[in-house]
């Protein structure tokens, strides 16, 4: 018996071919934006420092050294008439013969001709390879491979187009203003006006790709805007980390003021109650801060205050932002990009310090976190870059742990089985209640011996109780015990660490940088649980992580129960940046929340794995209509 499948070969409606003029217009606009940028003008006119010019060359190398690999991917997605043109481009990139060197070799000659030592050349090659690996590990904002390849093709051919119009001017500036030998600049010469033919062929290739894959106008416009917009070439050649390294500042005219701050108090139901020794939660009480600059752009931040950790409540935190931080914020100006982060690092000690006579608040870290993240989101969007550009990833993914609340043993076991089926290899269980042993026994049976279990008491025990309890729980092979004693009992924590034989993690005891120092000096713990909301956002968390790294303290990047995609995205980038990371928690998204605020899902997937995030700002897009709907209370303050 034979079967014939219905053929849809002619069943779809043909879309109108997008013109060469339209593609050229998009490339021209991206090139004009680059030439008009302050970064390009500074380099071309000789106003940049020699180190800034050398950093520009490094970024040209990192961007183009492996471009042949990208062209090869595009070639695979284009089995049509223009494939031969793309093939020629690929062969030229790779080098046709010993006399016609690959472009990667010309880039090596460029940096050697400037005088870079061999170890730096090797590092640049490593950087270029890592850049490709990170690209492959980063979540892409497109739905299909045809859209991804279109974005790559637009980016690759737009560089060819731009370089054919700008390379001669760049090479002249590098020779005349920065004393770079002309003989070293062959790569720029090959991409200059003599290469206009290749640039024009690139436009033809894109038109053919659009026609072959039947890509409609709205989709082309969307992908072209995302790929070529926000100064594509500046993002590659003058990234924030390079401007920070060379202290290249944005012109003062671009520094802006914040015009308004909006504070949203949320109520988002959970799918199930979350319990621990100190509190039960049925909904998220996240506080979202929106800042809007004089340019009309906005940025969003988030935190979740915990009275038993920093001393802040939702009400006091909101009042702190509205009455204390907002007036200070309105008096400041913020330059886009890395300068905002450094400005916030200088402001943090004063902005988080408790008022005179204040005894209930350890530090206003949650208030600062929400404001800081909103400012960074806004500032980085102004500079057309992402938080990951300031905090480049040290790993290709973040692997999250499962967390089980202080549930009945049978409920804990059922959740543990679901986590095991999802492939999670690390699970934390809340303890500090009467049925701890039964809960851990049920969880251990559900997940087997291959899963690493750790426990969190949230400060429920005295030191003596903790030691006794951990002796009973030792049979369940705990990898760590988190916050076994109350926050202030550092001596008790040290005793638990010494006498229980189980590694100890500090959480509620770790709010400020000074407390981090005390824990280290006393030898009270093996791990720090760093949480952005608890520890003062990116600024405070970086400072504590640096101290931990220097002291040999291991790090867990934790989360707030009920956080939305805004805080989860910032936590993801922070976790990916750390050179050493033992555990990560959070990014539950709609695993826990009935609804999230962001268009992009931040929830982890199989094995707890989650991709890197790198678009603009904090790399998530807030659904403002959902934010307005889920807000229980809203406050707005204007300058």
Q: What tokens were used for 220? A: 């082309």
**pLDDT range class, residue 96, cuts 50, 70, 90:** low
Class level of CATH domain 398-623: alpha beta
Residue 623 has a CB neighbour count (10 Å cut-off) of 16
pLDDT at residue number 358: 65
Give the tens place of pLDDT for each residue, 472-531: 999 999 999 999 999 999 999 999 999 999 999 999 999 999 999 999 999 999 999 999
Say how far apart CA 462 and CA 246 lie, in whole Å: 51
Residues contacting 8, CB < 8 A, separation 6+ = none
Which pLDDT score, from 0 to 100, does residue 3 have?
40
Tell me what pLDDT residue 230 has: 87
**Residue predicted with more confidence, 349 or 12:** 349
The kind and range of the H/E element at 87 are helix 83-94
Is residue 414 classed exposed, middle or buried when 0-12, 13-18 and 19+ CB atoms within 10 A define those classes? middle
152 to 27, 148, 224, 228: CA distances (angstroms): 14, 6, 10, 10
Looking at the chain, the whole-number percentage of residues with pLDDT higher than 70 is 94
| Mean pLDDT lowest among 242-256, 429-443, 489-503, 593-607 | 242-256
**36 or 98, higher pLDDT:** 36
Structural contact between residues 478 and 455, judged by C-beta atoms closer than 8 angstroms: yes
Give the pLDDT score at 4: 42
- Region 566-593: what's the mean pLDDT? 96
- Sequence ranges of the chain with CATH classification 3.20.20.120: 398-623
Mean of pLDDT values over 90-104? 70
CATH number of 255-384: 3.30.390.10
Nearest to 555 by CA among 522, 590, 519: 519
User: What's the pLDDT score for residue 194?
Assistant: 58
pLDDT at residue 80 greater than cutoff 90: no
Asked whether 478 and 470 are in contact (CB, 8 A), the reply is: yes
Please determine, looking at this structure, whether the domain spanning 20-245 carries the CATH number 3.40.50.970: no
Nearest residue to 161 via CA among 67, 25, 57, 31? 31
Q: Could you tell me where in the chain the CATH 3.30.390.10 domains are found? A: 255-384
Which pLDDT band holds residue 9 (cuts at 50, 70, 90)? very low
Backbone angles phi, psi at 49, to 5 degrees: -75, 160
Query: Which whole number is the average pLDDT over 440-451?
Result: 96
> Any idea which residue has 């095991």 for tokens?
420
* pLDDT of residue 177 exceeding 90: yes
Query: Is residue 258 exposed (0-12), middle (13-18) or buried (19+ Cβ within 10 Å)?
Result: buried
The DSSP element (H or E) to which 478 belongs, if any, is strand 478-482
Where are the CATH 1.20.910.10 domain residues in the chain?
A: 20-245
DSSP secondary structure string for all residues of 40-77:
HHHHHTT-S-HHHHHHHHHHHHHHHTTHHHHHHHHHHT
- Enter the tokens of residue 638: 């204007």
Packing angle of the helix pair 20-36, 196-212 (nearest 10 deg): 130
Query: Whole-angstrom Cα distance, residue 353 to residue 364?
Result: 6
Give residue 241's pLDDT: 85
DSSP, res 265? E
More confident position, 31 or 279: 31
């Amino acid at each position: 018996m034979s079967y014939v499948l219905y053929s849809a070969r002619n069943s779809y409606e043909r879309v109108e071919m997008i013109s060469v003029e339209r593609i050229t217009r998009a490339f021209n606009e991206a090139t004009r934006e680059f030439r008009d940028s302050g970064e390009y003008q500074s380099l071309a006119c000789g106003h940049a420092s020699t180190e800034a010019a050398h950093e520009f060359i490094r970024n040209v190398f990192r961007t183009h050294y492996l471009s042949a690999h990208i062209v090869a991917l595009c070639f695979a997605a284009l089995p049509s008439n223009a494939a031969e043109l793309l093939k020629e481009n690929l062969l030229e990139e790779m080098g046709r013969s010993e006399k016609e060197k690959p472009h990667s070799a010309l880039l090596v000659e460029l940096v050697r001709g400037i005088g870079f030592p061999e170890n730096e050349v090797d590092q640049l090659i490593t950087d270029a390879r890592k850049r490709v690996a990170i690209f492959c590990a980063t979540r892409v904002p497109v739905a299909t491979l045809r859209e991804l390849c279109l974005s790559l093709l637009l980016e690759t051919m737009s560089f060819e187009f731009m370089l054919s119009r700008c390379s001669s001017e760049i090479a002249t500036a590098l020779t005349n203003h920065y004393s770079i030998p002309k003989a070293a600049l062959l790569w720029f010469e090959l991409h200059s006006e003599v290469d206009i033919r290749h640039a024009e062929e690139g436009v033809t290739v894109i038109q053919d790709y659009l026609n072959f894959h039947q890509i409609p106008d709205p989709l082309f416009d969307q992908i072209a805007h995302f790929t070529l917009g926000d100064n594509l070439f500046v993002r590659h050649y003058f990234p924030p980390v390079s401007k920070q390294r060379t202290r290249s500042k944005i012109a003062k005219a671009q520094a802006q003021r914040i015009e308004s701050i909006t504070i949203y108090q949320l109520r988002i139901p959970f799918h199930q109650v979350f319990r621990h020794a100190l509190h039960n939660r049925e909904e998220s009480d996240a506080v979202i801060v929106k800042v809007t600059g004089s340019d009309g752009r906005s940025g969003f931040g988030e935190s979740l205050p915990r009275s038993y950790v920093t001393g802040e409540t939702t009400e006091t935190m909101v009042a702190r932002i509205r009455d204390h931080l907002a007036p200070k914020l309105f008096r400041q100006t913020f330059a886009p990009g890395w300068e905002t982060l450094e400005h916030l690092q200088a402001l943090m000690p004063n902005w988080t310090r408790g008022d005179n006579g204040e005894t209930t608040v350890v530090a206003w870290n949650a208030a600062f976190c929400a404001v800081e993240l909103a400012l960074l989101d806004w500032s980085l969007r102004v500079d057309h870059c992402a938080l990951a550009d300031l905090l480049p990833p040290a790993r290709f993914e973040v692997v999250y742990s499962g967390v089980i609340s202080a549930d009945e043993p049978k409920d804990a076991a059922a959740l543990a089985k679901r986590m095991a089926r999802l492939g999670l290899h690390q699970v934390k269980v809340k303890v500090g209640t009467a049925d701890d042993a039964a809960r851990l026994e049920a969880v251990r049976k559900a997940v087997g011996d291959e899963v690493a279990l750790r426990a969190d008491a949230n400060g429920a025990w005295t030191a003596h109780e903790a030691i006794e309890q951990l002796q009973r729980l030792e049979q369940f092979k705990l990898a760590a015990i988190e916050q076994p004693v109350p926050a202030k009992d550092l001596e008790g924590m040290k005793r638990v660490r010494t006498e229980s034989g189980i590694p100890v993690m500090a959480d509620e005891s770790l709010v400020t940088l000074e407390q981090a120092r005390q824990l280290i000096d006393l030898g009270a713990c093996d791990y720090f649980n760093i949480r952005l909301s608890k520890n003062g956002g990116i600024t405070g968390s970086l400072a504590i992580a640096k101290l931990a790294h220097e002291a040999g303290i291991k790090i867990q990047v934790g989360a707030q129960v009920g956080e939305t995609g805004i805080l989860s995205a910032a936590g993801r980038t922070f976790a990916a940046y750390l050179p050493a990371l033992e555990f990560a928690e959070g990014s539950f998204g709609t695993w826990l929340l009935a609804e999230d605020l962001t268009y992009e899902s931040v929830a982890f997937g199989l094995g707890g794995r989650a991709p890197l995030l790198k678009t603009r700002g904090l790399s998530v897009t807030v659904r403002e209509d959902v934010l307005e709907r889920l807000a229980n209370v809203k406050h707005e303050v204007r300058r």
